[in-house]
Protein backbone atom coordinates (compact mmCIF):
# COMPACT_ATOMS: atom_id res chain seq x y z
CA UNK A 1 0.00 0.00 0.00
CA UNK A 2 1.09 3.59 -0.55
CA UNK A 3 2.50 5.34 2.48
CA UNK A 4 -0.19 7.19 4.46
CA UNK A 5 0.68 9.85 7.04
CA UNK A 6 -2.47 9.25 9.07
CA UNK A 7 -2.61 5.47 8.90
CA UNK A 8 -4.27 3.02 6.53
CA UNK A 9 -6.43 4.67 3.82
CA UNK A 10 -10.14 4.30 4.53
CA UNK A 11 -10.66 3.02 0.97
CA UNK A 12 -8.19 0.20 1.64
CA UNK A 13 -9.85 -0.69 4.93
CA UNK A 14 -13.22 -0.74 3.21
CA UNK A 15 -11.93 -2.97 0.41
CA UNK A 16 -10.34 -5.41 2.87
CA UNK A 17 -13.50 -5.57 4.98
CA UNK A 18 -15.70 -6.26 1.97
CA UNK A 19 -13.39 -8.84 0.41
CA UNK A 20 -13.17 -10.77 3.67
CA UNK A 21 -16.96 -11.13 3.54
CA UNK A 22 -17.11 -12.38 -0.04
CA UNK A 23 -16.77 -15.98 -1.16
CA UNK A 24 -17.94 -16.72 -4.68
CA UNK A 25 -16.29 -18.39 -7.70
CA UNK A 26 -16.76 -15.22 -9.78
CA UNK A 27 -15.42 -12.77 -7.19
CA UNK A 28 -11.68 -12.36 -6.62
CA UNK A 29 -10.64 -14.04 -3.38
CA UNK A 30 -8.71 -12.29 -0.62
CA UNK A 31 -6.72 -15.11 0.95
CA UNK A 32 -4.73 -13.23 3.56
CA UNK A 33 -3.69 -9.78 4.80
CA UNK A 34 0.06 -9.68 5.53
CA UNK A 35 1.47 -6.94 7.77
CA UNK A 36 5.17 -6.08 7.73
CA UNK A 37 7.31 -4.19 10.24
CA UNK A 38 5.86 -0.82 9.28
CA UNK A 39 2.32 0.46 8.90
CA UNK A 40 2.75 1.04 5.18
CA UNK A 41 3.93 -2.55 4.72
CA UNK A 42 0.53 -4.15 4.29
CA UNK A 43 -0.01 -6.66 1.49
CA UNK A 44 -3.15 -8.34 0.22
CA UNK A 45 -2.66 -11.94 -0.88
CA UNK A 46 -5.22 -12.58 -3.61
CA UNK A 47 -6.19 -15.66 -5.57
CA UNK A 48 -4.03 -15.85 -8.70
CA UNK A 49 -5.54 -14.86 -12.05
CA UNK A 50 -3.47 -14.84 -15.22
CA UNK A 51 -4.82 -11.71 -16.92
CA UNK A 52 -7.45 -9.01 -16.94
CA UNK A 53 -9.97 -8.91 -19.78
CA UNK A 54 -8.90 -5.48 -21.03
CA UNK A 55 -5.32 -6.63 -21.64
CA UNK A 56 -6.55 -9.89 -23.07
CA UNK A 57 -8.85 -8.12 -25.55
CA UNK A 58 -6.04 -5.81 -26.61
CA UNK A 59 -3.57 -8.60 -27.28
CA UNK A 60 -5.77 -11.34 -28.72
CA UNK A 61 -5.06 -12.10 -32.40
CA UNK A 62 -8.74 -12.97 -32.92
CA UNK A 63 -11.70 -11.75 -30.84
CA UNK A 64 -13.86 -13.86 -28.58
CA UNK A 65 -16.61 -15.80 -30.32
CA UNK A 66 -20.22 -15.10 -29.34
CA UNK A 67 -20.30 -18.40 -27.43
CA UNK A 68 -17.26 -17.28 -25.44
CA UNK A 69 -18.79 -13.85 -24.83
CA UNK A 70 -21.86 -15.54 -23.36
CA UNK A 71 -19.66 -17.62 -21.07
CA UNK A 72 -17.84 -14.53 -19.80
CA UNK A 73 -20.94 -12.38 -19.29
CA UNK A 74 -22.83 -15.16 -17.50
CA UNK A 75 -19.98 -15.39 -15.00
CA UNK A 76 -19.99 -11.61 -14.50
CA UNK A 77 -23.75 -11.70 -13.91
CA UNK A 78 -23.46 -14.49 -11.35
CA UNK A 79 -20.87 -12.51 -9.44
CA UNK A 80 -22.97 -9.35 -9.64
CA UNK A 81 -26.08 -11.18 -8.43
CA UNK A 82 -24.09 -12.48 -5.45
CA UNK A 83 -22.89 -8.97 -4.59
CA UNK A 84 -26.37 -7.48 -4.72
CA UNK A 85 -27.81 -10.31 -2.63
CA UNK A 86 -25.20 -9.37 -0.04
CA UNK A 87 -26.03 -5.65 -0.32
CA UNK A 88 -22.75 -4.68 -1.95
CA UNK A 89 -22.41 -2.44 -4.98
CA UNK A 90 -19.15 -2.46 -6.93
CA UNK A 91 -19.35 1.01 -8.57
CA UNK A 92 -16.45 0.48 -10.99
CA UNK A 93 -17.40 -2.48 -13.16
CA UNK A 94 -15.45 -2.58 -16.45
CA UNK A 95 -13.38 -5.03 -18.47
CA UNK A 96 -10.10 -3.98 -16.83
CA UNK A 97 -11.56 -5.00 -13.45
CA UNK A 98 -12.51 -8.46 -14.68
CA UNK A 99 -9.82 -11.12 -14.24
CA UNK A 100 -9.56 -14.53 -15.88
CA UNK A 101 -7.81 -17.66 -14.71
CA UNK A 102 -6.15 -20.20 -16.98
CA UNK A 103 -9.28 -22.33 -16.57
CA UNK A 104 -11.55 -19.64 -17.99
CA UNK A 105 -13.03 -18.54 -14.67
CA UNK A 106 -13.92 -14.83 -14.74
CA UNK A 107 -13.67 -12.93 -11.46
CA UNK A 108 -14.73 -9.39 -10.61
CA UNK A 109 -11.90 -7.52 -8.89
CA UNK A 110 -10.89 -4.07 -7.58
CA UNK A 111 -13.31 -3.31 -4.76
CA UNK A 112 -11.65 -0.01 -3.83
CA UNK A 113 -14.80 1.93 -4.72
CA UNK A 114 -17.28 -0.73 -3.58
CA UNK A 115 -19.79 0.01 -0.83
CA UNK A 116 -22.11 -1.96 1.39
CA UNK A 117 -25.60 -0.51 1.45
CA UNK A 118 -28.85 -1.11 3.29
CA UNK A 119 -31.91 0.65 4.61
CA UNK A 120 -31.90 3.58 4.95
CA UNK A 121 -29.54 4.17 2.01
CA UNK A 122 -26.77 6.62 2.83
CA UNK A 123 -25.36 9.19 0.37
CA UNK A 124 -22.29 8.08 -1.58
CA UNK A 125 -19.58 9.88 -3.49
CA UNK A 126 -21.06 10.50 -6.96
CA UNK A 127 -18.11 10.70 -9.36
CA UNK A 128 -16.76 7.22 -8.94
CA UNK A 129 -18.09 5.02 -11.73
CA UNK A 130 -16.49 4.41 -15.07
CA UNK A 131 -17.36 6.65 -18.02
CA UNK A 132 -19.12 3.72 -19.64
CA UNK A 133 -22.22 4.82 -17.73
CA UNK A 134 -23.58 8.32 -17.15
CA UNK A 135 -22.13 9.43 -13.85
CA UNK A 136 -23.05 13.10 -13.86
CA UNK A 137 -25.32 15.58 -15.56
CA UNK A 138 -28.20 14.67 -13.26
CA UNK A 139 -28.58 11.32 -14.95
CA UNK A 140 -27.33 9.22 -12.07
CA UNK A 141 -25.80 11.54 -9.50
CA UNK A 142 -26.79 10.94 -5.90
CA UNK A 143 -29.75 8.67 -6.64
CA UNK A 144 -29.94 5.68 -4.33
CA UNK A 145 -32.44 3.90 -6.56
CA UNK A 146 -30.06 4.08 -9.51
CA UNK A 147 -26.95 2.60 -7.93
CA UNK A 148 -27.43 -1.07 -8.73
CA UNK A 149 -29.09 -0.10 -12.03
CA UNK A 150 -25.94 1.80 -13.03
CA UNK A 151 -23.96 -1.40 -12.52
CA UNK A 152 -26.43 -3.29 -14.69
CA UNK A 153 -25.85 -0.75 -17.44
CA UNK A 154 -22.13 -1.37 -16.94
CA UNK A 155 -22.82 -5.06 -17.65
CA UNK A 156 -24.49 -3.93 -20.87
CA UNK A 157 -21.35 -1.97 -21.76
CA UNK A 158 -19.19 -5.02 -21.07
CA UNK A 159 -21.43 -7.29 -23.17
CA UNK A 160 -21.45 -4.76 -26.01
CA UNK A 161 -17.68 -4.26 -25.86
CA UNK A 162 -17.04 -8.00 -26.03
CA UNK A 163 -19.47 -8.37 -28.95
CA UNK A 164 -18.16 -5.35 -30.88
CA UNK A 165 -14.49 -5.94 -29.97
CA UNK A 166 -14.17 -2.28 -28.95
CA UNK A 167 -15.58 0.06 -26.28
CA UNK A 168 -19.23 0.89 -26.90
CA UNK A 169 -19.12 4.44 -25.52
CA UNK A 170 -15.52 5.73 -25.72
CA UNK A 171 -16.26 9.17 -24.26
CA UNK A 172 -13.34 11.41 -23.33
CA UNK A 173 -15.32 13.49 -20.82
CA UNK A 174 -18.62 13.30 -18.99
CA UNK A 175 -20.31 15.67 -21.46
CA UNK A 176 -18.96 13.70 -24.43
CA UNK A 177 -20.07 10.47 -22.77
CA UNK A 178 -23.61 11.70 -22.21
CA UNK A 179 -23.77 12.81 -25.85
CA UNK A 180 -22.66 9.35 -27.04
CA UNK A 181 -25.30 7.74 -24.83
CA UNK A 182 -28.01 9.95 -26.35
CA UNK A 183 -26.77 9.13 -29.86
CA UNK A 184 -27.03 5.43 -29.09
CA UNK A 185 -30.19 5.25 -26.98
CA UNK A 186 -32.13 8.35 -28.00
CA UNK A 187 -32.98 11.44 -25.95
CA UNK A 188 -34.45 10.65 -22.51
CA UNK A 189 -37.83 12.16 -21.68
CA UNK A 190 -40.61 11.99 -19.10
CA UNK A 191 -42.43 9.48 -21.32
CA UNK A 192 -39.69 6.87 -21.13
CA UNK A 193 -38.22 7.91 -17.78
CA UNK A 194 -40.82 9.35 -15.37
CA UNK A 195 -39.16 11.90 -13.12
CA UNK A 196 -36.28 12.56 -15.51
CA UNK A 197 -36.91 16.31 -15.73
CA UNK A 198 -36.70 16.60 -11.93
CA UNK A 199 -33.28 15.00 -11.63
CA UNK A 200 -30.48 17.22 -10.26
CA UNK A 201 -28.60 19.29 -12.85
CA UNK A 202 -30.69 18.12 -15.82
CA UNK A 203 -31.66 21.70 -16.60
CA UNK A 204 -28.00 22.68 -16.94
CA UNK A 205 -27.48 20.44 -19.98
CA UNK A 206 -28.85 20.77 -23.48
CA UNK A 207 -29.24 17.27 -24.90
CA UNK A 208 -29.30 16.64 -28.63
CA UNK A 209 -32.65 15.65 -30.12
CA UNK A 210 -32.34 11.99 -31.03
CA UNK A 211 -35.70 10.22 -31.28
CA UNK A 212 -34.35 6.77 -32.16
CA UNK A 213 -32.63 3.93 -30.33
CA UNK A 214 -29.68 2.80 -32.47
CA UNK A 215 -28.75 -0.46 -30.77
CA UNK A 216 -30.05 -2.51 -33.71
CA UNK A 217 -28.05 -0.35 -36.12
CA UNK A 218 -24.97 -0.82 -33.93
CA UNK A 219 -25.40 -4.62 -33.78
CA UNK A 220 -27.23 -5.58 -37.01
CA UNK A 221 -26.10 -9.21 -36.75
CA UNK A 222 -27.25 -9.75 -33.17
CA UNK A 223 -30.32 -11.92 -32.59
CA UNK A 224 -33.63 -10.51 -31.36
CA UNK A 225 -32.99 -12.07 -27.96
CA UNK A 226 -29.56 -10.44 -27.78
CA UNK A 227 -30.92 -7.03 -28.75
CA UNK A 228 -33.74 -7.42 -26.24
CA UNK A 229 -31.21 -8.12 -23.48
CA UNK A 230 -29.18 -5.03 -24.41
CA UNK A 231 -32.36 -2.93 -24.49
CA UNK A 232 -33.28 -4.05 -20.98
CA UNK A 233 -29.76 -3.37 -19.69
CA UNK A 234 -29.64 0.10 -21.24
CA UNK A 235 -33.12 1.33 -20.36
CA UNK A 236 -33.02 4.90 -19.07
CA UNK A 237 -35.57 4.25 -16.32
CA UNK A 238 -33.61 2.30 -13.67
CA UNK A 239 -36.83 0.77 -12.34
CA UNK A 240 -37.36 -0.99 -15.67
CA UNK A 241 -33.77 -2.06 -16.19
CA UNK A 242 -33.09 -5.80 -16.04
CA UNK A 243 -31.61 -7.19 -12.83
CA UNK A 244 -28.72 -9.64 -12.80
CA UNK A 245 -31.24 -12.41 -12.09
CA UNK A 246 -33.39 -11.33 -15.04
CA UNK A 247 -30.36 -11.39 -17.32
CA UNK A 248 -29.33 -14.86 -16.18
CA UNK A 249 -32.74 -16.10 -17.32
CA UNK A 250 -32.54 -14.31 -20.68
CA UNK A 251 -33.38 -16.41 -23.73
CA UNK A 252 -30.21 -15.00 -25.33
CA UNK A 253 -28.11 -17.35 -23.22
CA UNK A 254 -30.32 -20.32 -24.13
CA UNK A 255 -30.24 -19.93 -27.91
CA UNK A 256 -27.49 -20.93 -30.32
CA UNK A 257 -24.61 -20.46 -30.23
CA UNK A 258 -24.76 -21.81 -26.71
CA UNK A 259 -22.27 -20.48 -24.21
CA UNK A 260 -18.80 -22.01 -24.23
CA UNK A 261 -17.69 -23.98 -21.18
CA UNK A 262 -15.20 -21.95 -19.08
CA UNK A 263 -12.51 -24.60 -19.48
CA UNK A 264 -12.53 -24.08 -23.25
CA UNK A 265 -12.17 -20.30 -23.16
CA UNK A 266 -9.13 -19.25 -25.14
CA UNK A 267 -6.43 -17.51 -23.14
CA UNK A 268 -3.64 -15.75 -25.02
CA UNK A 269 -1.02 -15.44 -22.27
Q: Give dist(CA 214, CA 216) in Å, integer.
A: 5
Residues belonging to the active site: 92
3-state secondary structure the chain: CCCCCCCCCHHHHHHHHHHHHCCCCCECCEEEEEECCCCCCEEEEECCCCEEHHHHHHHCCCCCCHHHHHHHHHHHHHHHHHHHHCCEECCCCCHHHEEECCCCCEEECCCCCCEECCCCCCCCCCCCCCCCCCCCCCCCCCCHHHHHHHHHHHHHHHHHHHHHCCCCCCCCCHHHHHHHHHHHHCCCCCCCCCCHHHCCCHHHCCCCCCCCCCHHHHCCCCCHHHHHHHHHHHCCCCCCCCCHHHHHCCHHHHCCCCCCCHHHCCCCC
Amino acid sequence: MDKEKDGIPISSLREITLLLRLRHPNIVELKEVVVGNHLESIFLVMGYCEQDLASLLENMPTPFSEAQVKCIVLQVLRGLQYLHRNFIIHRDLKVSNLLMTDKGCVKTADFGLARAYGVPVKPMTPKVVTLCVPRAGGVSRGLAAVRSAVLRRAVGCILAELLAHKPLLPGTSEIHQIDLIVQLLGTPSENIWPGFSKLPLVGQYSLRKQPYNNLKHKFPWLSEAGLRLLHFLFMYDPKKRATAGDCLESSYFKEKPLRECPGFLRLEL
